[in-house]
Amino acid sequence: MTNKTTQVVTRFAPSPTGYLHIGGARTALFNWLYARHTGGKFLIRIEDTDRERSTPAAVDAIFEGLDWLGLKGDGDVVFQHSREQAHKDAVAELVAKGRAYACFMTVEETDAAREEARAAGHALRSPWRDRTPTTEQLQQPHVIRFKGPLDEPLVIDDAVQGEVRFNTKDLDDLVLLRSDGTPTYNLAVVVDDHDMGITHIIRGDDHLNNAARQSLIYMALGWDVPKFAHIPLIHGPDGAKLSKRHGAQAVGDYAEMGYLPEAMRNYLARLGWSHGDDEIFSDEQAIAWFEIADINRAPSRLDFAKLGSVNAHWIRACDPDRLLGLVTDALRHRGQAHVGADATQDVLRRTLPLVKERAQTLVQLADLVQFALIERPFGLDEKTLALMTEETVGRLKRLHEQLAAWSDWSTEGTDVALKKFLENEGVGMGKVGPVLRGILSGGHPAPDISKIFASLGQAETLARLDTAVFL
């Protein structure tokens, strides 16, 4: 735990140009975990300084993703766009301090100068860096650039990556205000993080270079540089950067595939962070254990097999009523609109506990429950039909008789009934099992036969037997 005098404040700052990416989700999770761990605050800021690419739909999508994941911000959401004036004020201050300047290069000139600078072994330097423009010149279109040190060592003390050494000769004088007067990302981030009191910036590795530039701005403004923690990116199963061809990228995709948010949190937290050999842990445990020092430095790959096994655990641990609701939703989602009916809900309530240990996702669970939901009369598959010899039919009729008189329809009870029947018949389960399964399940995947009995209930079991045997 950190000391009480300076409360930890973390933030998640996505740019609303699309859905909430799985990598972004983990970044958000780490920020959230660290804030919870330290008793600090977790804030959300929408980085919409690029008005062209930012859309309200994307903002909604991001919040939908965060809500589903259960990651709520502690304060009001900050929209970066709304803080334009603060950004401009900071730039004015930098100009006044001689730490920023007007640059009149055109885009073409800038490109050429950049080429030239690279060839010379350093970053872009504007010829306007040391000129004082006249009042007339200032009427012309221009950008405001940061005036960084030309050739000095710069060390970023990163909580994950350690001491990262740069030289300012490789850092160009980045644009603070565009020629239309709007602030750029690198400037806005610094001003907002400072004003929001962010103490720890936990974000993707791809920002490590920005950290160098940003820290220069902090220092120029005379502000404390927050603690940086750059976490490695998540890669696809093939080790390449996560992209469309890897399939699911949006957290919404994972919801749709039937993963539980708590499973997602568990899996994502374990991806790139560890607490010894612990694999399955609750939110409370993750919060208690989460230290930035335990975040790994190497990028990690997404592994659906492992995600599935973690999800299977949380499906089993899921509260029955909640699971019923989730499966009902999944069934509706696939077009089974009638599943909300009381009778169907009863069937599901009985069936779910009997099959839930077989599923890795809610979608699989929805499949596993189909055998109980199909409506009579349904045909028998060929395999089952082939088993319906005269001898078997006679046997099934006797079974029907015995079951009709049996009262205990718990799984254990029907198991006893079945065993007794087999004993009386003097045959093994192999003689009856396959055909009975076919008749009762309609060819759908189904659990043990006694569990099928318990799931269907006496009336439905007898009815299904009836239609098969007497057709």
Partner RNA sequence: GUCCCCAUCGUCUAGAGGCCUAGGACACCUCCCUUUCACGGAGGCGACCGGGGUUCGAAUCCCCGUGGGGACGCCA
Judged by beta carbon, residue 7 or residue 402, the one nearer RNA is 402
Q: How far apart are CA 111 and CA 80, in angstroms?
A: 28
Asked if 207 is part of the footprint of RNA (rule: CB under 7 A), the reply reads: yes
Residue 246 interacts with RNA (CB under 7 A)?
no
| Residue 127 burial class via C-beta count within 10 angstroms: exposed 0-12, middle 13-18, buried 19 and up | exposed
Taking the C-alpha atoms of residue 207 and residue 217, their distance in angstroms, rounded to an integer, is: 15
Residue 227 binding RNA, by CB under 7 A: no
Cβ atoms 230, 257 nearer than 8 A: no
Q: What x-and-dash track marks residues 75-104 binding RNA by CB under 7 A?
A: -----x------------------------
Strands (E), 368-459: none
Chain centroid, CA 306 distance in Å: 15
Contact set for RNA, span 180-199 (CB under 7 A): 180, 184-186
Distance of CA 256 to the CA centre of its chain: 12
Interface positions, 43-72, toward RNA (CB under 7 A): 47-50, 53
Q: Cα-flanking dihedrals φ and ψ of residue 311, to 5°?
A: -65, -40
Q: Are 208 and 275 in contact (CB under 8 A)?
A: no
Contact 68, 97 (CB under 8 A): no
CB 202 within 8 A of CB 292: yes
Query: Within 292-311, which residues bind RNA (CB under 7 A)?
Result: 293-294, 296-301, 303, 305-306, 308-309
Active site residues: 244
Q: Is 107 in the site for RNA (CB under 7 A)?
A: yes
Residue selected from 63, 128, 166, 290 as contacting RNA according to rule CB under 7 A: 166
Question: Could you say which of 10, 11, 12, 15 contacts RNA (CB under 7 A)?
Answer: 15
Q: Tell me the CB-side half-sphere exposure of residue 203, using CA atoms within 13 A.
A: 23
Among 33-41, 119-127, 317-325, 343-351, which window interacts with RNA (CB under 7 A)?
119-127
Instruction: Kindly state whether residue 350 participates in binding RNA, applying the rule CB under 7 A.
Output: no
Of 75, 133, 325, 433, which one interacts with RNA (CB under 7 A)?
433
CB of 427 to RNA, least distance (A): 11
Among 57, 92, 240, 416, the residue binding RNA under the rule CB under 7 A is 240
Residue from 270, 286, 362, 417 in contact with RNA (CB under 7 A): 270
Nearer to RNA, 313 or 397 (CB): 313
CB contact at 8 A, 436 and 428: no
Q: Check binding of 141 to RNA (CB under 7 A).
A: yes
| CA 404 vs CA 87, 201, 398, 410: distances in Å | 79, 68, 10, 14
Nearer to RNA, 178 or 397 (CB): 178
123 touches RNA by CB under 7 A: yes
Of residues 351-410, those binding RNA (CB under 7 A):
357-358
Q: Does 285 bind RNA (CB under 7 A)?
A: no
